[in-house]
Amino acid sequence: MALLAGFAASITSGIIGSYIVVKRIVFISGSIAHSVLGGMGLAIYLKRSYDLTFLTPLHGALFAALLSSFLIGWIHVKYREREDTVIAAIWSTGMAIGVIFLSLTPGYNVELSNFLFGNILWVTQTDLMVLFGLDCIVILAALILHRRFVAVCFDETQAYLQGLPVQNLYFFLLALVAISVVLLIQVVGSILVIAMLAIPAAIASMFTARLSYVMFLAVALDCLFVLLGIGTSYELNWPPGATIALIAALFYLGSLLKGNVLKKLSLKERRSDPRTL
C-alpha cells in the first residue's frame, strides 16, 4: 500500500515538478504546502466538533491548496504584486488559521502530525483511489496542454503574442501544482513536500534539456526515491517521509558534485587542447 501510494504521488510530482522548475515557481509549492494547514485544521475541527465523520484532513488540504493557489495567481495578475510577497502572505495566513482551529479542536491531533511530517504507512484503499484519480487528471491535462504550458513557462510575452490564454493557463498550472502538493503530503508530509516536488525535476534537467524527457526521468527518480526511502526506513526504523526526502537531497547533492567535476574536467581538456589556443 505504501509503495503504491508513493508511486502514485511520483507520477504527478514528476510531471508538475518539471513545469515549476522551468517556470521558477518552486517556492509557490512551499507556500501551498504550508497553507494547507489551515484547511486540515478546519476539517479536523468540523469532524470532531460537529461529528462530520466523512471529512478527512485530505479534503481540507485539497480545498486549502486550490484556494491558496488561486489567490496567489489572482493577486499576482490583478494587482501586479511580486509572487514572493504574495507567497509569504499566503504561507503565514494559512499556518495561522490552522493553528487557531487546532487550538479549538478537542483531543490529540495525531492526524495532523502525520500530514505535517508524513506517514505513508497509514495510507488506506480510499486514499489510493483518490491518488490515482488525481494522477489521471494531471496526466490528461499534461497530454492536452503540454505545448501551451511549455510556451507559458519559457516565455510569457511570446505566448501572449501567439494569442495563447496565458492567464488561464497560469491559473490552471497553479491548480495542478496544488493537486500535486496534496498528493505528496500523503507521502512525505507538508514540511518536506518541496524536496520531492522540485529535486527530481532539478536532477533530471541536468541530464537533458528537453522537457518531455525531464518529466519521464523525474517520475523515474521519484519512484526510485520512494522505493529506497521506504526500504531504508524499514531497515533503520526511521520515519518514511523524512527518509525519502533525505535520500532525494543526497542524490541532488551528488548530482551537483558530479556536474562540477565534469565541468572542471571539460575545462581542463579544453585548455590542454592545442586547437583551442
Tens digits of residue pLDDT in 85-121:
777 788 888 888 888 887 887 765 666 666 676 678 8
Residue 118 grid cell: 508524513
Rg (C-alpha) for the chain, rounded Å, is 20
pLDDT digits (tens, 9 = 90+) for 189-244: 776 788 888 899 999 988 888 888 999 999 999 999 999 999 999 999 988 888 88
Structural domain contains residue 135: yes
pTM for the structure as a whole: 0.83
The answer to whether position 55 is within a domain reads yes
Residue 109 placed within a domain: yes
Residues of the chain with pLDDT > 70, as a percent, come to 86
Q: Burial of 9 by CB count in 10 Å (0-12 exposed, 13-18 middle, 19+ buried)?
A: buried
Among candidates 1, 24, 30, which has minimal Cα distance to 190?
30
- C-beta neighbour count of 151 within 10 angstroms: 18
> Half-sphere exposure of residue 217, counting CA atoms within 13 Å on the CB side?
18
- Residue 107 lies in domain: 2-191
> Is residue 84 in a domain?
yes
pLDDT score of 245: 87
- Residue 274 has a pLDDT of 54
Report whether pLDDT(122) > 90.
no
Sorting pLDDT into bands at 50, 70 and 90, what band is 43? Answer: confident
The answer to whether the beta carbons of residues 33 and 193 sit under 8 Å apart is yes
Between residues 198 and 261, which one has the greater pLDDT?
198
Residue 268 within a domain:
no
Q: Would residue 14 count as lying in a domain?
A: yes
Residue 17: inside a domain, yes or no?
yes
Question: What CATH number is associated with residue 29?
Answer: 1.10.3470.10
- For 63-87, write each residue's pLDDT tens digit: 999 998 888 888 777 776 666 677 7
User: How many domains is the chain partitioned into structurally?
Assistant: 1
Residue 109 is predicted with a pLDDT of 61
Q: What does the chain come to in residues?
A: 277
